[in-house]
């Protein structure tokens, strides 16, 4: 709600809301509303504009998803994928929302009674959970956190919250990694991984049928770890100097999909790389210019074997490979 709304007297807000409801909900014409309220039609027109400008009226347009099937087929064939969805996006402001909607549809199409879903975190995963529509009830679904928490300072990076939201949406049981994703040294990481509660979650992660994964970038402006202040500029530069261009579930890789930044990965808390790669469907959700090279590396390294992205991004991915 805009601050402009806060300066409008309460009676005025109610009047604007009434007029907006008559026009947008009940379908009355501006002329009919003018007669009912006792003002001119031009006054009604101005008040409707005021209602929108002040935030009393918010308009949401639910665009239908449009997939580029030819590009999708080419992507699947090029990288031998289990599945893919390449969607058309007209405005970059709709990128995350539409990617999330498409990924939600892909996830729902894969679920069956007893499914185990592993999740990472990030803006694309948060959008997927937010946009997912569930009109089917599956029995005995489990949602498992695959990597420790990055922290709740940025909501999209709160792994516990993402598991909780997804579990609620699917009426599923949630399993959490109640530990930070990164600790100070390998010895501490090895010790934490022996924790009984943590081992239970990791065991369920190993049994996942599908993993819902973001594709991260090592670029300073887009790196989740750096943006959430869990990695310093110096540490990020060291990761980059090792050739890292992106990560999946905290596992950094180079443009050819080869693992790198080993000292960083030794300090991670969560599912191992080997166990991640054993999950039958590893669904990546990513789009935008900053994710082109990370997507290429993730595909080449088989960290993901299914992908939801957009036409512009995938056109560039295919052109570069």
- Indicate if 222 and 266 belong to the same structural domain: yes
Instruction: Give the closest residue to 257 by CA, choosing from 293, 297, 202, 290.
Output: 297
61 within domain boundaries: no
Residues 54-67 have pLDDT tens digits of: 989 987 766 678 89
285 within domain boundaries: yes
Bridge partners (DSSP) of residue 180 are 149
Kindly report the CATH number assigned to the domain that includes residue 37.
1.10.10.10
116 within domain boundaries: yes
62 within domain boundaries: no
Residue 2 has pLDDT above 50, yes or no: no
Question: Is the whole-model pTM more than 0.95?
Answer: no
- Indicate if 24 and 123 belong to the same structural domain: no
- Indicate if 126 and 19 belong to the same structural domain: no
| C-alpha span between 275 and 248 (Å, rounded) | 13
DSSP 259-284: B--HHHHTTB-BS-HHHHHTSSEEEE
| C-alpha span between 300 and 22 (Å, rounded) | 56
Number of domains in the chain: 2
- Indicate if 35 and 129 belong to the same structural domain: no
- Indicate if 164 and 276 belong to the same structural domain: yes
Give residues with Cβ within 8 angstroms of 205, minimum separation 6.
Answer: 118, 144, 145, 146, 175, 270, 271, 275
pLDDT more than 90, % of the chain? 68
| C-alpha span between 121 and 129 (Å, rounded) | 10
Quickly state the pLDDT bin for 138 (edges 50, 70, 90). Answer: confident
For helices 159-170 and 123-131, the axis angle rounded to 10 degrees is 20
The answer to whether 88 touches 94, Cβ cutoff 8 Å, is no
| C-alpha span between 55 and 5 (Å, rounded) | 7
117 within domain boundaries: yes
Element (H, E) at 6: helix 3-6
For helices 30-37 and 10-20, the axis angle rounded to 10 degrees is 140
Q: Mean pLDDT score of the chain, rounded to an integer?
A: 90
Q: What does the pLDDT read at residue 91?
A: 64
Q: What does the pLDDT read at residue 3?
A: 47
Q: What are the distances in angstroms from CA 219 to CA 81, 160, 243?
A: 26, 25, 12
- Indicate if 308 and 223 belong to the same structural domain: yes
| C-alpha span between 185 and 266 (Å, rounded) | 8
Pairing verdict, β 246-248 and 251-253: antiparallel
Q: What does the pLDDT read at residue 227?
A: 82
| C-alpha span between 251 and 267 (Å, rounded) | 11
- Indicate if 121 and 46 belong to the same structural domain: no
195 within domain boundaries: yes
Residue 92 has pLDDT above 80, yes or no: no
Q: Name the residue range of residue 29's domain.
A: 3-54
- Indicate if 82 and 37 belong to the same structural domain: no
Kindly report the CATH number assigned to the domain that includes residue 142.
3.40.50.1360
Residue 36 has pLDDT above 50, yes or no: yes
| C-alpha span between 31 and 40 (Å, rounded) | 8
- Indicate if 177 and 261 belong to the same structural domain: yes
283 within domain boundaries: yes
Give residues with Cβ within 8 angstroms of 35, minimum separation 6.
Answer: none
Q: What does the pLDDT read at residue 157?
A: 72
């Amino acid at each position: 709600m805009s601050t402009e709304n806060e300066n409008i007297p309460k009676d005025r807000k109610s009047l604007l809301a009434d007029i907006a409801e008559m026009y947008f909900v009940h379908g009355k014409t501006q002329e009919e509303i003018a007669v009912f309220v006792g003002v001119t039609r031009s006054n009604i027109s101005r008040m409707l504009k005021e209602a929108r400008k002040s935030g009393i009226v918010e308009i949401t347009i639910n665009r239908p998803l449009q997939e580029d099937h030819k590009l999708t087929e080419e992507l699947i064939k090029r990288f031998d994928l289990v599945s893919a969805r390449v969607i058309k996006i007209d405005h970059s402001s709709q990128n995350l929302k539409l990617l999330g909607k498409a990924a939600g549809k892909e996830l729902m199409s894969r679920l069956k009674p007893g499914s185990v879903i592993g999740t990472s975190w990030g803006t694309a995963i948060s959008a997927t959970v937010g946009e997912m529509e569930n009109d089917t009830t599956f029995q005995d679904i489990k949602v498992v956190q695959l990597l420790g928490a990055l922290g709740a300072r940025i909501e999209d990076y709160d792994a516990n919250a993402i598991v909780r939201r997804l579990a609620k949406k699917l009426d599923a049981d949630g399993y959490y990694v109640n530990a930070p994703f990164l600790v100070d040294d390998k010895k501490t990481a090895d010790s934490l991984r022996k924790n009984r509660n943590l081992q239970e979650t990791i065991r369920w992660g190993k049994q996942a049928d599908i993993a819902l994964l973001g594709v991260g970038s090592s670029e300073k402006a887009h790196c989740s770890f750096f943006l959430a202040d869990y990695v310093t500029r110096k540490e990020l530069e060291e990761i980059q100097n090792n050739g890292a261009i992106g990560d999946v579930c905290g596992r950094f890789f180079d443009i050819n999909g080869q693992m790198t930044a080993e000292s960083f990965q030794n300090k991670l808390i969560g599912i191992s790389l080997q166990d991640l790669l054993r999950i039958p469907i590893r669904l990546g959700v990513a789009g935008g210019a900053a994710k082109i090279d990370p997507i290429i590396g993730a595909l080449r390294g088989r960290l993901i074997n299914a992908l939801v992205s957009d036409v512009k991004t995938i056109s560039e991915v295919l052109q570069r490979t």
